[in-house]
Structure formats: structure tokens, C-alpha cells
Structure 1
Amino acid sequence: MHINRYYITLLFLILFSATGKTQTKSAYGLFTDRDVYVSGEPLLAKIYLPEEVPSRIVCLDLVNQYGTRITGASLAIHNKEAEGYLQLPDSLSTGTYLVRIYQKYNAGKLKTIHEIFVTNRFDKPEKLDKIKIATSLSILKDQQTDLIQITGLQPSYSIKSKIEAGVQLDDSILKKVEGRLLVSVAQVYPTYVPITFSDQGEQKKEEMIEKRGVIITGIVSDRKTSMPAGGITVYLTIPDSIPGFQYYITRKDGRFYFLLDKYTGATQSVLQCLGNSPGQLLDFKLDEGFAESGKLPEFQLQSFPLDFKEALTRNISTVTFQKVFSQNYLKLVTTPQKSIKGHPYYGKASQSVDPRLFLDFANFSEISKELLRGVKFKNSNNELSLRVFNSSANEYFDESPLTLIDGIPIRDLKIIANLGTADIERIDVCQSERIFGNLRFPGVVAIYTTKKDISRIAESSQIVRKNLNGIQQSYLWAEPRITIATVPDLRQLLYWDSSAVPAKSISVQCNTSSVLGHYKLIVRGRLKDGTLIFSEKYFEVK
């Protein structure tokens, strides 16, 4: 298989030269910790951006051979670099997948794509006869340099032994290096040689640049006419003790935009749209947060080498035992959310009540009657109504107040009707008109529940409950602390430093694991002219 790949690559390079094409330095540099994985494992990635870009976010995702997106993340850019990870789902079937890197605003123009192979941990690789490999005319090749030397690395090591190596940078290249280096030690497979390639095309439509955070977009349409609905108010709420809240009034094209800049990782959210009249029926659709599949490479069937089959079988056993021994080498760094200081968006409450400090009331009608002065909650012929006393006018508002449950605006009062003392942590009441932007609220009743269960809000064509993905949380990678001699160390990634400071001499110290096979120490970096460079050295664990 290795020989076949060599000739395919050679043929493409000849064709490349014949057509006058050369590798562009405008491509993203995309490097993963390994090329072969088992479903359920994490994939680590380091990204070098080719130039200064207006966006502060780069997208990392995984698609299958047909372009179907499986998972993805938005990574923060720092000094033209980014790093992050993807958690490969347990459900992935065995086969070739594509890891992509791009930015939303120009995803149609430029992507870098790297091929990986994933084995489902419940499959039996020995039954596989063929493997699909990607082919592309736009193969990206980094420049190997002898100005970075790897020293002290032995040809072979025993299991659970100490590696003490060094990286030496010549003065001439040290002056040219820009940013941080990537230094890693991981298992490799000599007969599997994946490709990295560039996908460059035309941008179908202009996208917004994510300068401050992830931009959430979508469209509202009128169900009766199927036409975009302008002038519709769309709410985005992030439930919390001080809820996050934004609104947007759709343009003529029915589109809306929200900025998710105060939250990292998956953020529980509720989006809803409100018609201009009670009878107006709307359809509400969020845009896909990642790029379309674009042009996919051709795939060719190749024979499945016997040694690769055997290695995959060992990998499955390794990952299975990792789960048995709970050996997890990634730790998420808890990033403090940007706290919303002061009062919620509806302002300071006229009164705030904790019903748990009083008698045990069975429902909200009893709570409002006994504990909430200036609040009338009535049930007349199964028609629920809620009114708040306007302290400025010395009379009740004629309209229903802004009613919130865990910060989420609701119109269906049945949602709160059966909430009793044990269900409610706090109730805020505002007995005056409140203004938020150009929204006017005739009083506010904000209920904060003990369980924070947004499933009370039923989804519909106008209400969507969704985990919105902000910028990915940072992570730490570390060797495990295994104190029991009989417990195996099951890492295939022995060392990962994605932010190594360039220096004349860099120390690389780690331990081999209990996993036998071929390994590689590799150093990657970027020069000031955009050239991606590397130096590597192989060894074996016996």
C-alpha cells in the first residue's frame, strides 16, 4: 500500500508541475497528533494560519467521505495560531475521514484538509480486505529541514522507559521562525501514509467576519407564504441566575444574527421568534454553524496490508482497556465565563422572593396570592392571566408582563401554573415599565427554578432549544500518574507540546507506554515567510 501511495503521489506531482501549479503558502497548516484513531478517542490539532486575518476564530471539523459533517469546534486564534481537539464519536464506522480547517467568512475560498483513518472499537479489522484512500492534485507538502536536529533519541526503547531527547535549532533558522513550535511523540504506521491537501474555490456568498466571537445566524419565514418574514423579533436566551439575553428584529430577508462572545464550549440556549400579530405562524431555522462539504477528493480502493490490520486490532484492545482503567489524558481548563455584573437585563427587581422560606404552597396561584404583592395570577374558565401592579401609575398594567422562567421569555402560562414552593428558587417582580433597547415590558415576573430544566419549554416551529457552541475551552495534555506496576500505560501519544517556545536547545522528556510499535518525534513550525517546516526522527518500542 505504501508503494502504491508513493506512485500515486509522484504522478500527481508530475501533473502538478506540468500545469504550472505550485504549492501555495496561503494554505492553513493543519497537524493532528496521530493519523490513525479508534472511535471514542480525542483528536488533537495544531493550526498555523498563513497570514493575519480579520476573524479571531478558525473552524475545525470532521466529515466523512461523502461530506457529511460529524463534529466540529470553533477555536480561538492567537498570533496566527490555534489549537484544539475533536472528540471522535463512539458510533463512527471504520473507514477514512477528513479533518478540515477553515474560517467561515472565506470557507468557500480556502480549506486545508487532512486524511485520517478511524476504526470502530467494536469492529474486527482482520475481516477488512480493502481501504479507501484519498487522492488530490492539491497535496500540501511541508519543507523538511536539517537546520533542526533531534538529538539523544535512541533507535529503540523498552516499555515504560525514559526518553530524554533534545531539539537543536541552528541560529540561521531560529531567526526565521515565527510563533510557537509543535513538538510531539506519537505512534505511527509505516504502511499508512495519509495526505493533506488544499481545497480552494469560489465563495458563493459573503459571510460575516467573527471578530469578537461565534456568530449565530438563521432565517424566519412566514408559514402561510413561505416567504422571508421581516420585522420579526427573535430572542436568544441563555438560562442562568443572571440570564444572557439578546434580541434581533429580522430584516426584509428574514435573517437574524447573534453574537456568542461571553460563553465557551457548548452553551444551553433557547431561541424563539414572535409574530407581529397573535395569529401569525412562523417557521424558524438556524443556519449550519460550519462550512458545506465543498469539493471532495476522489477515493481509491487499496489492499489492506496485513501488518496494518494487526496494528488496528491492537489499537482496539488498547482503547478498550484505556476505558476500563479510566486513563484520560485530556483535561479541560475551566474558563471563567464573562460574568454579567449587576442586575439581569430587565433591571433591578422591585421585590425578590424565595418561596422556600415560607409555607409549602402547591402551585403558582397560591404563591402569587400569598407572597407576591402586586401580582395577580388568575384562572378564569381555564384561561390563565397574569398582571403586575404599575407602582408609577398606581394601577395594574392592562397587558401581560414579561414572564420568564430561568430567564427564558414565555407566553404559555401553563408552564408556570403548577410550580410550587419546592420548584422555585427565586421570583423577581418589577412593578414598573421596563425598557430594553426598543423593547417595552409592562412589568416583569421572573421565576428561577431549582432544577434549571429547560425541557419545560416545548419546542415548536417558533421555539428551538439547542446547545450553541461558543469558542472551545482550552485543554491540558499530560502523562498519566500510574502508581501500580501491574496497570499498563496505554498511550499512543507520548508527548504533545503545541506551544513550544523556539530556542537554540529544547528538551523533550517523556516516558514510553506499554504499547509496542513504531513511534516518531516530530518538530513543526512556521517561518516568517509562511513556509511550514519540520524535522523528524523514528524509533521503536519493543
Structure 2
Amino acid sequence: MCSVFLILTGLLFLRPTASAASPLNSVDAGSGNHGAESLLIHTDRDLYIAGENLYFQLYLVPSQQNQAPSRIAYILLQRITNENIETFIVRLSDHIAFGSIYLHDTLPTGNYRLLCFTNRMRRYEGNNYITKPIFIVNRFDETLEKISTARQDIDDQMQEEFQDKRDHGSQNNKVKISTNRTTFGRRDQVDLSIEPKDFADSIAYLSVSVAQDKSYVFPDHAFSGRQVLNRQPGSIYQNKSRPGEVFAETRHLILEGMVRDKNTGIGLEGLRVLLSTPDSLLNLQYAQTLDDGSFYFAINDFYLNKPLYLILDTSTMNSPALIEVADRFATKGPEKHEQPVFSAGHDEFIAASQEYVSIQKVYEINHQSKYSDLIKNKEFRPLVYAEPNYTVYPEMYEPLRDFREISRELIGQLRTRLSGGTYTTRMLNYQTAYQFFEDAPAIFLDAIPVSDIHQIMHLGTEKVKSIEVHNYRWAYGEMRFAGIMAVFSRNEAWRLLELPESSKVLEGMSFLEPSLYYDPDYSQATNTQATIPDLRQLLAWRPGIRLTSGENLLIRFHTGDIKGKYLIRLVGVTAGGEMFSTVSEITVE
């Protein structure tokens, strides 16, 4: 089946060649997997000034293969060189995610794009990524050379075709939109009515943007054809022998990696990888490497915004090994980016936009507002034990200069000896009360495994908050411990740990929190509002709209102080995966 990209200005979706009413979830995944999961993205505009917020809505079209839908998606902001500028992780609730991305002031003028995918989509070689082109102009760019260069490649006929498609879109009579008038004054109230006309499904999900017409600069026809985004050469994702559901993030983030022999680079089977994060309670997960050396962890909300420590269990190692962690944001896209269409009046429009943004910076005007109904999953600490057998609080005793003294004076269950410059430790077995375990206990500092007790010997009582002693022969899943000692510091001593070469430390992962666009309500104008210029080129942005068949909706917003033509663009998808859109316009005098 031949695949094409269907674009509505500010919108992109990957779908097969078919009639306008073809269901979106019949998308070809690029490896013979029909009905695979895919995404739809709608942005508030195409053209931005560096220093503005970009608003988006992402919609997941679920697979037709009775698979649980992904609840996590990824958005990359990329340069024309395919370099990632920023990367974001978003949660999907009822298949939708929306929010805003701040476009930093330092971004140079040029073509950019948003690249979107789920972990399941990334599993396939080929075209199962979604791209949305945007154009960013630096606020201090006075020459606008790239605008002039782009305009030279557009002839009059292309300009006329683009303007027609931009202003009218693809009308398919799914939804009718109308306003109380077509012409409005400054700070005037606009009532936008949304009426469903021809729904095969009872529910649809929409987003609506109202922006100046010249904010849209990418035409439909420039995006036809197949875009292929292959993974980086040598990526660990090229192994497709694993079941697809391993890669589907239906609830939590998945951390993927491999363990390879340090000398041969061959994946090693049967090694145990430990995962922990600095904490005041002893947490630990582990995973066993598969036959190709790969491993997987489910990352629940407990681990968010915290460093993640991956350490190999030496008891499972027979040769030097290294941990590789998959870069979930590594992609290799087409070198050619879609080109914008600029008209003769765009120079003046962009210069005015630069000034508007600068003025709003001076007045510290920010139209972003937080979304109160944040999506959070339950945090789960994978505790090694519910509570320790003993806990020692060194501050309750006389100061001791190092951990050897602490061990000798305060921890009767621990025997520490120094021989030939090397420390050895053994723990008293609580169940026998008089015998020490033959093996060394497991030692943790702030919940991070410590393979060499030398690394904590410098800690005196002033640096130690508590010491937990669990002197049982303890089973934790398949792991066995000859006692456990967990030391918790006062000064984040875990930061100074020297980890084995085979280990990996990852920066904390976080989700982009949902946010909304705030537009002022002048029906109850205050004196403060009257003195502040309203230089909004985006009059309204409404994501997350749920429309039921037979139900009319009313969206109310107000115009600002900028005169001109504004386009109302509605983009939606039915519960069955059928996309629709419609465009209207108003004028502000």
C-alpha cells in the first residue's frame, strides 16, 4: 500500500492513500503492520518568534489489533540539521496530550520541526514517525535573509494555491463552525459555534486555534510523499525479535538497554542489572539480561526527576562488561525539511511580530496558564524490606570520626577488619545470634549499591543520618543477601561515590506538564487591563474539546488590539479514528 502524508496547515497525519473518509487507524506502519498505532498533532500556528510559546495537541489513534493503547508519547524539537534542540515526554489521557513548548530567545531564524512518536511506533523501521514543520524567526533578526531566500522559490501560482488551501482547508462537512459576526472591533467578544453534522461515531476530540492568517506558512501539497525516519546505525532497537508489547508504554516509561562484553561487544545473557535512585528508603529493582543482552525496566512516577543508577551485579559477571542505555530520542530523519510559503507582505508581518513579542516581554505578559487536572500515576517504591531489623542514629551518641569507629562502637551486628590495607565486613546472623555469615553483607549508601566499603569509611557521625541493619539471610526475588547495611547520609554523600566502569548514571526523566492558553475576558474589563496593550496574534487556543454527536458547543473569546484577518482552524478526530477539519475567518477592524 502506498503511504502519503495528509497535511492541514498546522496539522500532520500519516495515512494511506484513500478517500477523505478513510479511517486513520488503517495506517501502514511501514513493515506490513496494518492498523498500527499512530498520532495526530495540531499546533496553534506555523510561524513563531523566538521567545514565544508553541501550543500543541497530540492525539493517539489506537491500533486495530486489540492492543492496549500507549499512554506515553515523545515530542522532539529539531533543527534543519536533524539535531535535537529539546526533547519532551508527554502523558496521554483518553488518547490526548496537550501543552506548550517555550521557544528560547536564542534560536536562530530558520526551518524547524516537531517529530512525534510512541515507543511502540518507534519499534518499526520506516515511516511510523509523525513530523510537523514550523518556522521560527529570531526576535533580533533584522535582515530576514532566510525569509527572502524562501520567497524566491515560490511563484505566483504556488502562492495562490497555498492561500486557497490555507484559507479553506479540507472541508468535509463533519463539523460546521460559525461566528456571531464576521467583522469585529478591538477587544470585541466573539462567539464561535461548533455544530456536528455527519458523525459516524458518537464522540470526537477537537482543538481550535484562532490566529492571524499570515501565521500559517506551510502548504498541503508540499508534504505529499513518504517520509522515512530510520533509526541510528548500530542502535540497539534494530533487534526486532522481542514481542512488540515489550516496547509498548501502556502505563509506565520503559527503560531499555543492553549489556555487552567489554572486549568483543557481544551481548551477554543472564547478567543482573540493578536499578536504584538516591532516597531515604532502600529501593531496588533488578532485571536479567535476555539472550541478546537486552534488558528492560518499568519506570513509575517514583523515579521521576531523580538520577537513575544502573549497576551490574558482580556475582553474575564472568568477564568485563559495559551497560548501554537506549537513547529514546535518537532518530535519523530525512535531510530535506519542508519549505514555507512567504508572501510579499510577510516581511512587514514578521517585523511587527518581533516588536509585539518584545513589548510583551517588557510588560511581562505571559498567556500560558497551568492545567490544574494533572495526570499522575501512583508512585511505587520497590522496597527491599518493609523495615530493618535495627536502626542506629549516630547523633544520639558521642562523635566518632569515621565509619570504622561507628562500626566498632555502635553496630554490634557488624564486624569490620582491616588487613593488608583492605577492609572486610561480616554481619551477625540474627537467626543464630552467635554466628557470622560467611559472605559479606550488601552495603548501600543513600540506597545506591556500594561494592567497596572503602568508599564509606571516611564518613563520621556528623555526616551520617542513620544506619539500617537487616541481619537476616534475606531473599529479594532471585537475589540473596548475607545481611544488609543501608547508610543514609546528611550531605548527599552518594554524589561522591566512585562507581564501577560498567555502571551508568542517567539524568532524571520528567513529563511535560499540560498547560493552557489564557486569553483575557474583556466583558469584565479592569482598569489594569485597559492600560496594558493586547498584542495577541493568537486570539484563542482551545485543546482537549470533547464533542458528542447532536451536541452544539459555544467557545467565547475576545479580539485584541491588532487589526487584520484571522483564521479559525478546527481539527478533530472521531473515536473511530476519522480525521476532519474546517476553516473559517474573521476580520478585526
> What TM-score results when the alignment is normalised by the length of structure 1?
0.80
Specify the code of the residue in structure 2 equivalent to 1:428.
E
Change (3 A) 1:488 1:143: same
Counterparts of 2:485 and 2:493, CA distance in 1? 18
Counterparts of 2:344 and 2:542, CA distance in 1? 33
**Alignment partner, residue 395 of structure 1:** 435
Change (3 A) 1:299 1:435: same
Specify the code of the residue in structure 2 equivalent to 1:398.
E
Three-state SS of the structure 2 residue aligned to 1:115 is: strand
Three-state SS of the structure 1 residue aligned to 2:120 is: helix
Specify which of 445, 470, 495 is matched with residue 540 of structure 2.
Answer: 495
State the 1:425 CA deviation: 3.4
**Alignment partner, residue 468 of structure 2:** 428
**Alignment partner, residue 4 of structure 2:** none
Three-state SS of the structure 1 residue aligned to 2:388 is: coil
Three-state SS of the structure 2 residue aligned to 1:501 is: strand
State the 1:360 CA deviation: 4.5
**Alignment partner, residue 179 of structure 2:** 151
Specify which of 182, 185, 194 is matched with residue 168 of structure 1.
Answer: 194
Query: Structure 1 stretch 85-94 or stretch 102-111: which is displaced more?
Result: 85-94
Q: Is the 8 A contact 2:540 2:557 kept in 1?
A: yes
Q: Is the 8 A contact 1:424 1:450 kept in 2?
A: yes
**Alignment partner, residue 483 of structure 2:** 443
Counterparts of 1:162 and 1:349, CA distance in 2? 66
Structure 2 counterparts to residues 376-415 of structure 1, below 5 A: 376-380=415-419, 382-393=421-432, 394-415=434-455
**Alignment partner, residue 33 of structure 1:** 44
CA offsets 1:466-499 (integer angstroms, 9 cap, x no match): 1353655444544479974545556554433322
Three-state SS of the structure 2 residue aligned to 1:368 is: helix
Instruction: Figure out how many residues of one structure are paired with residues of the other and give that number.
Output: 517
Q: Is the 8 A contact 1:264 1:473 kept in 2?
A: no
Query: Structure 1 stretch 126-135 or stretch 107-116: which is displaced more?
Result: 126-135
CA offsets 1:245-302 (integer angstroms, 9 cap, x no match): 32112123111111113358544311222345788322221112136234454555x7
Specify which of 80, 88, 92 is matched with residue 65 of structure 1.
Answer: 80
**Higher share in strand:** 1
**Alignment partner, residue 189 of structure 1:** 214
Q: Does 1:54 align with 2:68?
A: yes
**Alignment partner, residue 129 of structure 2:** 111
CA offsets 1:224-246 (integer angstroms, 9 cap, x no match): 22222222211121333345532
Structure 2 counterparts to residues 312-331 of structure 1, below 5 A: 312-320=350-358, 322=360, 325=364, 327=366, 329-331=368-370
Counterparts of 1:381 and 1:316, CA distance in 2? 71
Counterparts of 2:380 and 2:457, CA distance in 1? 29
Change (3 A) 1:94 1:202: closer
**Alignment partner, residue 3 of structure 1:** none
Q: Is the 8 A contact 2:98 2:544 kept in 1?
A: no
Specify the code of the residue in structure 2 equivalent to 1:72.
T
Specify which of 517, 520, 535 is matched with residue 567 of structure 2.
Answer: 520
Q: Does 1:340 align with 2:355?
A: no
Change (3 A) 1:376 1:117: farther
Counterparts of 1:97 and 1:152, CA distance in 2? 37
Counterparts of 1:502 and 1:441, CA distance in 2? 57
CA offsets 1:179-221 (integer angstroms, 9 cap, x no match): 3221333444267235566756699653522233221111111
State the 1:148 CA deviation: 1.2
Structure 2 counterparts to residues 463-482 of structure 1, below 5 A: 463-469=503-509, 472-479=512-519
Q: Is the 8 A contact 2:229 2:333 kept in 1?
A: no
Three-state SS of the structure 2 residue aligned to 1:455 is: helix
Q: Which consecutive residues of structure 1, in runs of 5 or more, have no partner in the other structure? A: 1-8, 10-18
> What TM-score results when the alignment is normalised by the length of structure 2?
0.75
Structure 2 counterparts to residues 212-361 of structure 1, below 5 A: 212-242=251-281, 244-263=283-302, 266-276=305-315, 280-290=319-329, 292-295=331-334, 297=336, 299=338, 307-320=345-358, 322=360, 325=364, 327=366, 329-331=368-370, 338-340=378-380, 344-361=383-400
**Alignment partner, residue 179 of structure 1:** 204
Q: Is the 8 A contact 1:264 1:471 kept in 2?
A: no
State the 1:349 CA deviation: 0.3
Give identity over the alignment, percent.
23
Change (3 A) 1:261 1:85: farther
Specify the code of the residue in structure 2 equivalent to 1:502.
L
Counterparts of 1:404 and 1:492, CA distance in 2? 56
Change (3 A) 1:93 1:401: farther
**Alignment partner, residue 162 of structure 2:** none
State the 1:500 CA deviation: 1.9
Q: Which consecutive residues of structure 2, in runs of 5 or more, have no partner in the other structure? A: 1-6, 8-15, 28-38, 159-164, 231-237
CA offsets 1:123-166 (integer angstroms, 9 cap, x no match): 4453543249999xxx99754538412212553442xx253312
Q: Is the 8 A contact 1:191 1:305 kept in 2?
A: no
Three-state SS of the structure 1 residue aligned to 2:567 is: strand
Counterparts of 2:43 and 2:207, CA distance in 1? 10
Q: Is the 8 A contact 2:275 2:284 kept in 1?
A: yes
Counterparts of 1:497 and 1:183, CA distance in 2? 5
Specify the code of the residue in structure 2 equivalent to 1:111.
Y
Change (3 A) 1:252 1:299: same
Aligned-pair RMSD on alpha carbons? 4.0
Counterparts of 2:425 and 2:105, CA distance in 1? 48
Counterparts of 1:154 and 1:516, CA distance in 2? 13
State the 1:432 CA deviation: 1.1
**Alignment partner, residue 6 of structure 1:** none
Q: Is the 8 A contact 1:63 1:69 kept in 2?
A: yes
Query: Structure 1 stretch 245-254 or stretch 506-515: which is displaced more?
Result: 506-515
**Alignment partner, residue 13 of structure 1:** none
Three-state SS of the structure 2 residue aligned to 1:418 is: coil
Counterparts of 1:169 and 1:514, CA distance in 2? 29
CA offsets 1:338-384 (integer angstroms, 9 cap, x no match): 2337x822442011233344444443334334433323445555434
